[in-house]
Homo-oligomer: A and B are copies of this chain.
Amino acid sequence: MTKLNETHDPALTSWVASANDGRTDFPIQNLPFAVFRRQGSQEPWRGGVAIGDQIVDMHAALGAAVFEGDALPAARAAAETTLNQLMGLGAVALSHLRRALSKALQTGSKNEAALKACLIPQSQAEYALPASIGDYTDFYTSIHHATNIGKQFRPDNPLLPNYKWVPIGYHGRSSSIGISGQSFKRPQGQIKPPDADTPQVKPSARVDIELEMGIFVGQGNALGESISIEQAESHIFGLVLFNDWSARDIQPWEYQPLGPFLAKNFASTVSPWIVTMEALAPFRASFAHPADDPQPLPYLSSAANSAAGGLDIQLEALIETPRMRNDKAEPARITLTNYRHAYWTAAQLVTHHTLNGCNLQPGDLLGTGTLSGPSLDQACALIELTSGGKNPVQLPNGESRTWLEDGDTVILRGWCEKPGTTRIGFGECVGTVLPST
């Protein structure tokens, strides 16, 4: 697990003033990566690093010879059109670049003049997927979500016997993963209400969100080789916010016996900025199964994973209805939870995924699954928040929502804060449901 070092020092400030206001998601202690270009331009996509309200254009910075020595391989890779190469370099090379960025961006740096010319305001940028995602796997790491959903699909048997032993995961669709700002048509599908004799094809009336975190894989493993729990985090590049949109009326009819398919693969949205594991080092949380639950099998256990395998990341989802947009009202928060409630850690997901020798590759995306916390107001999908559609969510402007309506925008946010550290954040993951036709 990454140790604290001088890049985490809360006393550090940047010559980019907006990084020092105590409210930004992107102080000098964060330094997340994205792929961007100027909005509406035909410029090549390239890697960038967020600092305050600015982006360090890594392609330009490379041209300005800001990086040297150990930091150079990662700096070169970070300037590419996707971050796959950077991800593949591994945690040590990435850490060298982080130290170099931290030095170059801190108050009084000799690189200030050269790097200032490489800044582009985030307000002028558009983003691409940060990596070419080879495979996307979604997990099911919140026992609260699994129990809440299980109650609706199997009232007599909500939590299956394997849940407390197996970090349950399944493969998802990578082609329909989009970057924040994605809008998608309401999907149509085969829908069979319980009281109907035959299914009908119609637009989903139950489009839902799933607030998750996305884990981008760094260095991969060869087919046939497993990744130990001790090594697992060194194979994680970083984390993003992730909305795994779901059609709850398509899902129950299609999902047996092989799992969700068209209920999920019409769109999934990631936030642009990948916060690295090293940036998250101050926000580790202890991890333990309840004492009367089965303890993880040896391949999923390590002292480090128990001591600090968790991550204290606050997460919220907000909804902006067309009426709110029209009234210029603030989006309304519908849930607030924390990643530390997960039943399996990120390291356990990597290790379990490779137990059979399955090969992970740089840029692969692992979803944590819906990160619902223990209480209902921490539930991370409408199917839970509304108790399966029975109790609509009341919004502050008098509207209510059972499921998403056309034109609704959902905004995910995430951040870490604790005394003695500098707050860091993930930016936003935004997506909008369009009418079916």
> In the docked arrangement, what's the CA distance between A161 and B382, Å?
27
Structural contact, B171 and A356, CB atoms closer than 8 A: no
Which residues of B have CB within 8 Å of A299?
201
A384 to chain B, nearest CB (A): 16
Structural contact, B253 and A185, CB atoms closer than 8 A: no
Q: Does A190 contact B (CB under 8 A)?
A: yes
Question: Which of B262, B298, B353 has a CB less than 8 Å from the CB of A355?
Answer: B262
A175 and B266 in contact (CB under 8 A), knowing A223-B184, A294-B198? no
Q: Does A230 contact B (CB under 8 A)?
A: no
Structural contact, B169 and A171, CB atoms closer than 8 A: no
Question: Which of B176, B224, B297, B357 has a CB less than 8 Å from the CB of A199?
Answer: B297
Within 8 A of B (CB), among A227-261: 247, 250, 253-261
Which residues of B have CB within 8 Å of A168?
254, 257-258, 261
Structural contact, B257 and A173, CB atoms closer than 8 A: no
Within 8 A of B (CB), among A187-230: 187-190, 192, 198-199, 201, 223-224, 226
Question: Which of B188, B297, B358 has a CB less than 8 Å from the CB of A201?
Answer: B297
Which residues of B have CB within 8 Å of A250?
356
Q: Closest B-chain residue to A189, C-beta based? A: B356
Greatest chain B CB density within 10 A among A176, A224, A267 is at A224
Q: Does A412 contact B (CB under 8 A)?
A: no
Which residues of B have CB within 8 Å of A260?
170, 258-259
Which residues of B have CB within 8 Å of A298?
201
Within 8 A of B (CB), among A342-383: 352-353, 355-361, 364
A253 and B166 in contact (CB under 8 A), knowing A223-B176, A262-B356, A359-B175? yes
Q: Does A63 contact B (CB under 8 A)?
A: no
Structural contact, B175 and A356, CB atoms closer than 8 A: no
Structural contact, A223 and B267, CB atoms closer than 8 A: yes
Q: Does A172 contact B (CB under 8 A)?
A: yes
Within 8 A of B (CB), among A307-345: none
Structural contact, B173 and A224, CB atoms closer than 8 A: no
Q: Does A162 contact B (CB under 8 A)?
A: yes
Q: Does A108 contact B (CB under 8 A)?
A: no
Q: Does A160 contact B (CB under 8 A)?
A: yes
Which residues of B have CB within 8 Å of A360?
175
A220 to chain B, nearest CB (A): 8
Q: Does A24 contact B (CB under 8 A)?
A: no
Question: Which of B171, B185, B257, B359 has a CB less than 8 Å from the CB of A261?
Answer: B171
Q: What mask results when residues 113 to 148 of chain A are scored 1 for a CB within 8 Å of chain B, else 0?
A: 000000000000000000000110110100000000
A190 and B170 in contact (CB under 8 A), knowing A153-B257, A199-B297, A297-B201? no
Q: Does A265 contact B (CB under 8 A)?
A: yes
A356 and B259 in contact (CB under 8 A), knowing A162-B254, A166-B254, A253-B166? no
A436 to chain B, nearest CB (A): 9
Structural contact, A258 and B257, CB atoms closer than 8 A: no
Q: Does A174 contact B (CB under 8 A)?
A: yes
Which residues of B have CB within 8 Å of A353?
262
Within 8 A of B (CB), among A253-304: 253-262, 265-267, 294, 297-299
A262 to chain B, nearest CB (A): 4
The 7 closest A-B CB pairs, nearest first, are A259-B259, A187-B356, A171-B171, A170-B258, A266-B356, A258-B259, A262-B356
Chain A interface residues (CB < 8 Å from chain B)? 134-135, 137-138, 140, 150, 153, 160, 162, 165-166, 168-176, 178, 184-185, 187-190, 192, 198-199, 201, 223-224, 226, 247, 250, 253-262, 265-267, 294, 297-299, 352-353, 355-361, 364
Given contacts A162-B256, A171-B172, A187-B355, 6 further A-B contacts (CB under 8 A): A170-B260, A175-B358, A175-B360, A250-B356, A262-B355, A266-B358
